[in-house]
Amino acid sequence: MCATQGGSVIDYVLGDPELSQEYIIRGITRNLDSAKARQLKAKVEVVQDDVLDRRSLETALNGVHTIFAMTTPTLGADGFDIEYNSGKRIADVAVEQGAQYVIFSTLPAVREIAGGKYTKVIYFDAKAKVEQYMRGLPTKSAFYCPGSFMENFHQSVLAPRRAPDGKGFITWHVSPQTKFPLLAVVDDSGKFVGSILAEPDKYEGKKFCAATALYILGSIAAIMSKVSRKTIVYKQISPEGFKESLSSIPFAGEIFTEGFNYYEEFGYFGPDTKGLVSWAAENARGSTLDL
């Protein structure tokens, strides 16, 4: 249900000789008139749905056998409840409409893995709770758990900041040795979800902690310099300075400060991050983008 992840899955299935014959795709979007929706209509059937509207969700999922779904983060005091309830609603309606299999885009349970130390990373914990709920339903399920998007280093508020002399700085508060499991979400999401679609029984109940590999922040800056041919360096700043850099977005400072602290201390996917990433990469349906 997300244009980026869902679009990757759609393109992968349409381009795969086996999956394209096995699956008839229905794309679901909140806005049928958006540019991305119009592009999607040229490829597959597209229907409108708002996950907050149960009736439209029932219509969108009517007659569907297999669902790839995700929830959209909501920043705010009630963000956890809004996202969790959206995911729960998708799961409940999927069961009611007779869906046989749900693939859910989840994230690690930060609060649980950290033993309650970090509580602000609500968009991770909300998805993790939806995953837990889905595992208790009669419908079969599997899970796609993406790492840190490579695209975010270019397009989001976390992208390098430019100095007047043209030099770029990634200015975060954690050590340059902090490891991030990087994923080219547009190019590679479909390869992980495609494995589940190709062998649903084999991967029932399994979770793909999806990434190409683990990269330290210092190396990420060096890779970006090489590719862009512009100097980019990693500069560690104080937690207070990092929060201030995100002050224009409500709640973002607390969420990302705690989130990056969690990555540094416990690993993005938890203590066995390296092993989980290796398993997912080995089971992906095709080679992932290598930096």
Residue environment code for 104-121, b if the CB has 16+ CB neighbours within 10 A, otherwise e: bbbbbbbbebbeeebebb
> Got the DSSP string for 78-113?
THHHHHHHHHHHHHHHHHHTT-SEEEEE----HHHH
Q: Which amino acid is at 201?
A: D
Rounded (5°) CA angle 216-220-149: 95
SS3 label, residue 41: helix
Q: What pLDDT does residue 177 have?
A: 97
Domains present along the chain, CATH in parentheses: 3-283 (3.40.50.720)
Predicted structure pTM score: 0.94
Residue 289 DSSP label? P
Burial of 133 (0-12, 13-18, 19+ CB in 10 A): middle
Q: What pLDDT does residue 165 have?
A: 86
Q: What pLDDT does residue 2 have?
A: 52
Q: What pLDDT does residue 1 have?
A: 40
Write out the H or E segment, with its range, that includes residue 228. helix 217-228
Q: What pLDDT does residue 3 have?
A: 67
Report the chain (291 residues): mean pLDDT per 10 consecutive residues.
81 97 94 86 90 92 96 91 97 97 98 98 97 97 97 83 89 96 96 98 98 95 91 96 92 95 98 97 92 78
